[in-house]
Amino acid sequence: MKKGSQTTIVRAIGISFLELIQRFPTEMDVIDYFLHIKYPKGVRCSHCDSKKVVHRKTTPRKFQCNSCNNSFSIFKSSIFKDSKLDLRKWLYVIHLVINAKKGISACQVHREIRGSYKTSWRMVHQIRKAMGQVTTQNVFKAIFEIDEAYVPAGPKIKQKSKRGRGSLKTPIVGVYNREKDRIYATVALPNELGQKLTGKQLLTILEKVATQNSTIMTDEFRPYNLLDKKGYEHQKVNHSQHQYAFNGIHVNNVEAFWSIFKRGLVGSFHHISGKYLQAYIDEFTFRFNNRKNKKIFYDLLERSLLE
């Protein structure tokens, strides 16, 4: 991290593996936990809303309604849908993903839980789906840092490409809210200029999280100059002149996030498809934004219901 950075990378304690197996010694304990989350006032039929429902003895994940004879699963809309794996394995993989600062590959998950690689791959992508679930994107007036990064995603190219701006790599944009200590990161959608970022693209992304009159800190990248015309207080540092922080003006918090993300791409995943790039970004964003959250494990379990 460059001089002048404000972010301290603190990892949430979360839940340990020992605590995990003590809290959920059987699969039924996992089911009971999700029942409490999903039906705090008691299980109701998904079809007729009746309370006259009973557990199926042979399939404890399902209920039978005595009023309309409807059979339904408590995990119908969750990331566990159609999975026959012991739910404790799911919780273990969630535990692994949360605690892997640089991410964990499907290959490593496969080595941990055995079974097929295809199953492990699906599990980690379903967990990323839960991590990326956002019900509403709040817009704030605050101090923001915005910065872009370029990552290789898509078909592998044998020849070396130039680094950073102007390369053939995929641009991704991060916006960090200093007051909330949270980052919003997304793949920049393609435009008529190919992979090159435009001020209009950057503004569209920024408007999802920042109101006008917010203070926006950037580097000297020319497309950011559009912010001066759109009602933002635009402050910038000039990296080309080795200026990385000046009177509190810097984008080091976003760059700290990019550093973690890129180390994960190199160290854990090696190469990813452009199709799934946003899912990987969502995973790292969730961990970054919850790095001080001691309930991160249980919060993700609740998200896993996808409701």
Check residue 214 and give its pLDDT: 95
Strand partners, 6: none
Check residue 134 and give its pLDDT: 72
What are the residues whose beta carbons fall under 8 Å from the beta carbon of 307, sequence distance 6 or more?
Answer: 38, 77, 78
> What does the alpha-carbon distance between residue 247 and residue 4 come to, in Å, rounded to a whole number?
9
| Residue bearing tokens 């199926």 | 56
Look at the alpha carbons of 103, 283, 128, 265 in this order and tell me if their dihedral is positive or negative.
negative
pLDDT exceeds cutoff 80 at 19: yes
Q: Averaged over 136-145, what is the pLDDT? A: 83
Position 225: which residue type?
N
Across 155-169, 202-216, 229-243, 274-288, least confident range: 155-169
Six-digit token string for 299? 């919060």
Check residue 138 and give its pLDDT: 73
pLDDT in tens, 44-102: 999 999 999 999 888 999 999 999 999 999 999 999 999 999 999 999 999 999 999 99
Check residues 141 and 7 and name the one with the higher pLDDT: 141
Check residue 242 and give its pLDDT: 82
Check residue 193 and give its pLDDT: 52
Per this entry, what is the length of the chain?
A: 307
Kind of pairing between the strands at 215-218 and 143-151 = parallel
pLDDT exceeds cutoff 50 at 198: yes
- State the first-to-last Cα distance of the chain, in angstroms, to the nearest integer: 37
Contacts by residues 158-167 (CB-CB < 8 Å, ≥ 24 positions apart):
165/196, 165/197, 165/221, 166/196, 167/195
pLDDT exceeds cutoff 60 at 286: yes
> What does the alpha-carbon distance between residue 218 and residue 3 come to, in Å, rounded to a whole number?
16
Across 6-15, 139-148, 184-193, least confident range: 6-15
Outline which parts of the chain fall under CATH 3.30.420.10: 143-293
Q: Averaged over 242-250, what is the pLDDT? A: 90
- Of the pLDDT bands very low, low, confident and very high (cuts 50, 70, 90), residue 155 is low
Q: Angle at the Cα of 201 (from 282 to 285), degrees rounded to 5?
A: 15
Domain 143-293 adopts which CATH fold?
A: Nucleotidyltransferase; domain 5 (3.30.420)
Check residue 236 and give its pLDDT: 94
Q: Averaged over 206-235, what is the pLDDT? A: 94
Q: Averaged over 288-305, what is the pLDDT? A: 95
Check residue 179 and give its pLDDT: 94
Check residue 167 and give its pLDDT: 59
Six-digit token string for 300? 């993700």
Position 277: which residue type?
L
Check residue 211 and give its pLDDT: 92
Burial of 268 (0-12, 13-18, 19+ CB in 10 A): middle
What are the residues whose beta carbons fall under 8 Å from the beta carbon of 287, sequence distance 6 or more?
Answer: 98, 101, 131, 296
| Residue bearing tokens 């920049």 | 188
Indicate yes or no: pTM above 0.75. yes
Check residue 22 and give its pLDDT: 97
Check residue 306 and give its pLDDT: 87
> What does the alpha-carbon distance between residue 144 and residue 9 come to, in Å, rounded to a whole number?
18
Output DSSP code: residue 174. E
